Amino acid sequence: MSIKFTDEIKAFEAALGQPPPAEYYVLRLFITGKTPRSSRAIQNIRNICEERLHGRYELEIIDIYQHPEQIEPEQLFVTPTLIKELPLPVRRMIGDLSDKDRVLVALDVIPKETAPPGRGSQDGH
């Protein structure tokens, strides 16, 4: 066996022992103006992203009052709405995002099986 082949095997085995690369998240939060519910949604998703995604995300906040052209392509009916574009699959969450565990499951940050049982609705009602 050549040295090069042995080195390649060692590199492959080392790669197998490494955790997979962290995924990058692309999120779009659609809100309607400066309402209390919109403000809560913004604060909640920012807190979740900073706490759990550690800079591995892009968060775009879109006020549909200022950008009504965004409503139709995204087929929005309710705000606030968070759309996770990446990593796939695309997911949508409606409400103020106050149920942190539910948001983390929807973002695929934690598996559904490990999330604690629900503590009420996602919109804080």
* Phi, psi angle pair for 68, to nearest 5°: -65, -20
Cα–Cα distance for residue pair 102/94, rounded to 1 Å: 11
Q: What is the pLDDT, as a whole number, of residue 19? A: 55
- The CATH number assigned to the domain with range 25-113 reads 3.40.30.10
Domain spans in the chain, listed from the N-terminal domain onward:
25-113
Q: What is the pLDDT, as a whole number, of residue 53? A: 95
Cα separations in angstroms, 23 against 51, 103, 107: 15, 16, 11
Q: Residue 24 — pLDDT band, cuts 50, 70, 90?
A: very high
Q: What is the pLDDT, as a whole number, of residue 22? A: 76
Q: What is the pLDDT, as a whole number, of residue 121? A: 40
